[in-house]
């Protein structure tokens, strides 16, 4: 594999770039402080911008490693205003596979931005980095996330019943995957 790190990726409407400390206020406002936006992710809402800033500091440290893939999602028209996050959340070097995770601020839902970001990141990870397989999962209570995966070309793999229990709900874990077409 050819680990390149979180290089800038541009799409028709989006600018994907590494996070910077100055992103903390927008991240806090757009998703990190909103329990509804965070309902189906593993972490809880941040109580302050300082908490968000601490998270970003850790990510900036991780950018030193070339196998770190974490992007701030920005609109091309406002490249300094972060609206979401897309990241490789786990990797298996032996199988050359990884899992993708993403989140988008609520006021940006339903506009195709996340699908556009996922398509661009999948292309980068498969064709530039050389992952053989990329997976993504979602909880059955959040079917919009599954639609993003389908629109991005990922294929359904399996459903694990009642596998996700957190924040007062229990849901099925649904797994999607895409294989590197050139391998």
Mean pLDDT computed over every residue of the chain = 95
How confident is residue 136, by pLDDT bands cut at 50, 70 and 90? very high
Q: What is the mean pLDDT of the segment spanning 105-121?
A: 97
CB 100 within 8 A of CB 178: no
Q: What is the pTM of this model?
A: 0.95
Whole-number pLDDT of residue 42: 79
How confident is residue 120, by pLDDT bands cut at 50, 70 and 90? very high
Query: In angstroms, rounded to a whole number, what is the distance separating the alpha carbons of residues 120 and 62?
Result: 21
Whole-number pLDDT of residue 36: 87
Locate 88 and state its tokens. Answer: 């490789």
CB 73 within 8 A of CB 26: no
> Over 80: is that where the pLDDT of 84 sits?
yes
Note the pLDDT tens digit of each residue in 23-68: 999 999 999 999 888 887 878 889 999 999 999 999 999 999 999 9
Q: What is the mean pLDDT of the segment spanning 96-121?
A: 97
User: Domain 9-131, what fold?
Assistant: Aminopeptidase (3.40.630)
Note the pLDDT tens digit of each residue in 145-180: 999 999 999 999 999 999 988 888 899 999 999 999
Query: In angstroms, rounded to a whole number, what is the distance separating the alpha carbons of residues 85 and 101?
Result: 8
Whole-number pLDDT of residue 35: 87
Q: Are strands 133-139 and 169-179 parallel, antiparallel or unpaired?
A: antiparallel
- What is the phi/psi pair of residue 64, to 5°? -65, -25
Locate 155 and state its tokens. Answer: 């294929």
Whole-number pLDDT of residue 142: 92
Whole-number pLDDT of residue 23: 98
> Over 80: is that where the pLDDT of 183 sits?
no
Q: Write the DSSP symbol of residue 5.
A: -
């Amino acid at each position: 594999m050819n680990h390149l790190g979180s290089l800038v990726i541009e799409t028709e409407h989006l600018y994907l770039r590494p996070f910077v400390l100055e992103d903390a206020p927008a991240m806090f406002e757009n998703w990190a402080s909103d329990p509804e936006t965070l309902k189906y992710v593993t972490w809880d809402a941040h109580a302050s911008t300082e908490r968000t800033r601490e998270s970003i500091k850790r990510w900036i440290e991780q950018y030193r490693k070339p196998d770190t893939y974490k992007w701030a999602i920005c609109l091309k028209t406002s490249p300094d205003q972060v609206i979401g996050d897309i990241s490789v959340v786990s990797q298996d070097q032996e199988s050359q596979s990884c899992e993708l995770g993403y989140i988008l601020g609520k006021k940006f839902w339903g506009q195709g931005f996340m699908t556009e970001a996922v398509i661009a990141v999948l292309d980068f990870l498969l064709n530039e980095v050389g992952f053989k397989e990329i997976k993504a999962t979602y909880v059955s209570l959040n079917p919009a996330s599954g639609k993003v995966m389908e629109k991005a070309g990922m294929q359904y793999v399996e459903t694990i019943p009642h596998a996700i229990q957190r924040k007062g709900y229990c849901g099925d874990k649904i797994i999607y995957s895409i294989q590197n077409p050139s391998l």
